[in-house]
Amino acid sequence: MVFVNKSIFFRIFTLISVVLLTSSLNFYAFGQGIENDGLNKIVIDPGHGGSDPGTIGSKTYEKNITLSIALKLGTLIKDTFPNVEVIYTRKNDKFVPLDERTRIANSEKADLFISIHCNANPSRSPYGTETYVLGLHKSEDNLDVAMRENAVITYEDNYSSKYEGYDPKSTESYIIFTLMQNAYLDQSLKLANDVQTEFREQIHRFDRGVKQAGFLVLWKTSMPSILIETGFLSNSKEEAFLNTDSGQDHIANAIFKAFSYYKKTYDIRNSVVSKIEPTIVNDSSVSNQEKPDITFKVQIKSSRKRIPLAPKNFKNLNGIDEIVSDGTYKYTVGNKKSYSEIVEYCQQVRKKFPDAFIIALKGSKIIPLDIALKEISI
């Protein structure tokens, strides 16, 4: 059992309230077609820098590789989409605090935030790419990665007060991520899945999957955000690949292709939404029978290509459902009207799919989880 003192609980409660309010406003704005002009601004965040080298390989520093890949990615975006403004959290070898990286993205009102990193492991055998979105770590490996990346804050003065008592080495601190639901989770997951698809299919990197973990750099961003681990510097072959121009070009090109695909669907969707006139519905004139039911499911996988619904393709799970959203196939199990029941069911599913998570549907449409929880509580 984990005990949380009153001050920590109060901070968690306050933060949840802010997150719920912000996500509700974002959802409302999107539904009314406000500021839906397409994807016009991206913040690219090269991990580490300056006094913080990041992961250290036998010949390389993470901070140098992430900067090179970030600049290559930004150049590809600018050359192909001149109207997209590319903003970097750093363009040279300097230290940038994690909260400053988030502040840059929020103050610039970016449409997208991509943080680029390199991975490491005490063992030299692990290799491959993985892409993270904000959420609760579902395995010890995810927690280890988040702790290592979050330890950057120890380079900052007064980091404990600056990050509201957060301790990157304490598992208790990560309880906050068990209670948060990123307002942009679905969009972040879509981009993360596109990135991993390009890594796997275009440049043949080993796909370690899309995962969730409590990264501080993604914590307070008010836009879809992902963190990419481009490979393991602790693996000699992968380090050699990432330390070459051609290897960095391949990585940057794969991320760029995923960005292009994401931007296309984003622009199309927002173009359609912006043309929809707001409609005010008088709740008193709509019977309960006419309102779509809210249900909860557990998403276990997503893919740009359709996967046959045979149990063998899903670790022998039965009752797989397919949902098509924004050109992506999402695969779910379970169908509960009770949130407590879906939470319990999700814990069972995670024994086979550690990164499974809960989604909410209103009728056949996926909606933000916090909005669903508000509706069923009214």
Torsion 164-168-172-173 (CA) sign:
positive
pLDDT value at residue 136: 57
Q: What is the pLDDT of residue 32?
A: 34
The CA-based angle 34-39-42, given to 5 degrees, is: 120
Reduced DSSP (H G I as helix, E B as strand, rest coil) percent helix, strand, coil of the chain, to 5: 45, 20, 35
Placement of tokens 């199990």 in the chain: 333
Closest CA to 331 of 302, 306, 305: 302
Global confidence as pTM = 0.66
Interstrand relation of 129-134 and 207-213 (parallel, antiparallel or unpaired): parallel
CB hemisphere CA count around 145 (13 angstroms): 30
What 3-state class would DSSP assign to 7? helix
Tell me if residue 297 falls in helix, strand or coil: strand
Half-sphere exposure of 149 (CA within 13 A, CB side): 27
How does pLDDT run across 333-354, given as a tens digit for each residue? 999 988 888 888 988 898 898 8
What is the mean pLDDT for each group of 10 consecutive residues in the chain (378 residues)?
A: 41 42 39 57 95 93 97 96 96 91 90 95 94 66 56 57 54 46 73 92 93 73 90 97 97 96 81 46 45 85 87 92 84 90 87 85 82 72
State residue 155 phi and psi, 5-degree precision: -80, -10
Length of the chain (residues): 378
- Counting residues of the chain whose pLDDT is more than 70, the rounded percentage is 69
Which residues in 50-64 are b (16+ Cβ under 10 Å) and which e?
A: eebebbebeebbbbb
Question: What phi, psi does 334 have (nearest 5°)?
Answer: 80, 155
pLDDT tens for each residue of 121-169: 999 999 999 998 876 544 445 556 556 555 555 555 665 555 555 555 5
Sign of the alpha-carbon torsion through 272, 274, 275, 280: positive
| Dihedral angle computed from the Cα positions of residues 225, 229, 230 and 231, in that order, rounded to the nearest 10 degrees | -170
